[in-house]
């Protein structure tokens, strides 16, 4: 819901970003510009249908009738004592409503934001975190941040592809092979080998190589063995 929006460009930009994030029901409370305004239509681009279907009402109370959860937005704290939600938790609160009733997000006018009286009709409040120096976002950009979080809520996070971890046998086999090879090519000396190998172990533990990567390293060792002596065992 947009309360007393003054700028047609903002109105069009809100419609556009609503469509981007799969929202469609726009309520205009006592708007100071019309959804059929030329500039609004131009800014909406492929979301003209949202402007055409927007419902205009005279006051916020009428717009909110039947809404079970109402989320107000404000750029700066006023007399609201409830702690502010960030848009992500605001989305969670709105979308976890258990009944079939409506829920609403309310945005204020560009010049003054929501009045205390309007904020009093909201049940929870979202403040988009910003730099202290300038906390007021452009109306359509504030809607964009909130709409994005609504859209993302419930979209499962992609599972990271888990590479196969090397078994302890594979790792120990690699270290033995490494030691033998490095001794063979003269990189390690018998008396300092243990200490140096310890450093390689630390490096590999930090890198957490996959089984495939350990096999890759063994491939190098095999090639070094082959190149330096054809008698050296794997």
Binding site for ligand SAH (CB under 6 A): 73-76, 107-108, 110, 112-114, 126-128, 130, 135-137, 139, 142
Residue 197 contacts by C-beta under 8 Å, 6 or more apart in sequence? Answer: 175, 178, 179, 188
Q: Which is nearer to ligand SAH, 75 or 193 (CB)?
A: 75
Angle between helices 168-184 and 211-228 in degrees, nearest 10: 20
Measured between alpha carbons, how far is 227 from 229 in angstroms, rounded to an integer?
Answer: 6
Residue 101 CB, nearest distance to ligand SAH (Å)?
22
Residue 28 CB, nearest distance to ligand SAH (Å)?
14
Alpha carbon separation from 105 to 20, 24, 25 (Å, rounded) = 16, 12, 11
Q: Which is nearer to ligand SAH, 70 or 178 (CB)?
A: 70
Alpha carbon separation from 173 to 145, 168, 220, 234 (Å, rounded) = 52, 8, 14, 10
Residue 67 CB, nearest distance to ligand SAH (Å)?
16
Q: Which is nearer to ligand SAH, 27 or 174 (CB)?
A: 27
Query: In this structure, are residues 108 and 142 in contact, taking their beta carbons and an 8 Å threshold?
Result: no
Q: Which is nearer to ligand SAH, 20 or 130 (CB)?
A: 130
Residue 206 CB, nearest distance to ligand SAH (Å)?
41
């Amino acid at each position: 819901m947009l309360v007393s929006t003054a700028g047609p460009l903002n109105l069009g930009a809100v419609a556009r970003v609503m469509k981007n994030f799969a929202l469609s029901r726009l309520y205009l409370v006592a708007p100071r510009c019309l959804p059929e305004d030329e500039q609004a239509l131009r800014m909406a681009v492929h979301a003209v249908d949202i402007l055409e279907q927007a419902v205009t009402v005279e006051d916020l109370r009428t717009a909110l009738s039947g809404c079970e959860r109402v989320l107000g937005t404000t750029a700066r704290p006023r007399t609201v004592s409830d702690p502010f939600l960030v848009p992500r938790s605001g989305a969670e609160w709105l979308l976890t409503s258990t009944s079939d009733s409506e829920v609403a997000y309310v945005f204020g006018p560009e010049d003054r934001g929501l009045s205390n009286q309007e904020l009093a009709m909201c049940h929870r409040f979202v403040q988009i975190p910003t730099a202290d120096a300038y906390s007021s976002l452009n109306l359509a950009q504030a809607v964009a941040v909130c709409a994005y979080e609504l859209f993302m809520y419930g979209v499962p996070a992609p599972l990271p592809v888990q590479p196969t971890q090397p078994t302890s046998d594979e790792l120990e086999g690699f270290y033995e092979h490494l030691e033998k090879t490095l001794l063979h090519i003269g990189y390690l000396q018998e008396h300092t080998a243990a200490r140096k190998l310890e450093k390689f172990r630390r490096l590999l533990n930090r890198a957490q190589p996959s089984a495939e990567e350990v096999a890759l390293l063994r491939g190098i060792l095999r090639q070094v063995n082959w190149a330096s002596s054809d008698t050296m065992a794997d």
